[in-house]
């Protein structure tokens, strides 16, 4: 089993709020630090979405219950929520630059995208928007769809991308 949240929490602590974001004004830097603080402090997954292909061939998104198998360690100083998605074939840290437009695309394989810092937004073909902020996880299972687009926020983002290239959607 892949201990997803433990690794994500460790990475969130290690990624500075200004990682690979270029030149920011003091006001932008403060806004980015506030945006990142809650997830870095708790290491908890706050929201989880699942992208899938609808009957019409277009990407859809549903909210998923983030309840996983829990555990408390080191006298209550460390708590975990474990999800069993299988073992990823590749783990990537993604740095999205500020205010970047992300063109519509389907997932080329099953993947989990966890925002560690900054923000991004997913936009479906029907115009619905989903904010991805620190601690938000997107499980992408919309291979073969027309895709979804989006943008990075004013701070850009740092994300953990777990790729399951040999796995079919569950």
pTM for the complete prediction? 0.70
pLDDT in tens, 102-114: 999 888 889 999 9
Lowest mean pLDDT among 53-57, 70-74, 145-149, 159-163: 70-74
pLDDT of res. 5: 43
> What is the pLDDT averaged over residues 74-90?
75
Domain boundary assignment for the chain: 4-164
Confidence at 66, pLDDT banded by 50, 70, 90 = low
pLDDT of res. 44: 59
pLDDT of res. 25: 75
Q: Are 148 and 123 in contact (CB under 8 A)?
A: yes
Confidence at 6, pLDDT banded by 50, 70, 90 = very low
CATH class of 4-164: mainly beta
Confidence at 40, pLDDT banded by 50, 70, 90 = low
pLDDT of res. 95: 92
pLDDT higher than threshold 90 for residue 43: no
Which tokens go with 29?
């830097």
Q: Are 4 and 112 in contact (CB under 8 A)?
A: yes
Among 58-72, 75-89, 137-151, the range of highest mean pLDDT: 137-151
């Amino acid at each position: 089993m892949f201990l997803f949240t433990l690794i994500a929490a460790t990475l969130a602590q290690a990624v500075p709020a200004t990682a690979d974001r270029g030149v920011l004004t003091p006001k932008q830097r403060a806004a980015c630090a506030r945006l990142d603080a809650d997830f870095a402090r708790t290491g908890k997954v706050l929201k989880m979405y699942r992208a899938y292909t609808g009957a019409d061939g277009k990407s859809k998104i549903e909210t998923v219950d983030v309840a996983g198998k829990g555990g408390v360690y080191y006298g209550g100083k460390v708590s975990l929520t474990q999800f069993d998605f299988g073992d990823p074939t590749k783990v990537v840290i993604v740095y999205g630059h500020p205010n970047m437009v992300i063109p519509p695309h389907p997932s080329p394989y099953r993947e989990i995208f966890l925002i560690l810092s900054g923000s991004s937004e997913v936009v479906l073909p029907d115009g619905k928007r989903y904010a991805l902020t620190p601690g938000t996880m997107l499980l992408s299972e919309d291979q073969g769809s027309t895709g979804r687009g989006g943008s990075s926020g004013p701070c850009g983002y740092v994300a953990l991308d777990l790729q399951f290239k040999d796995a079919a959607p569950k």
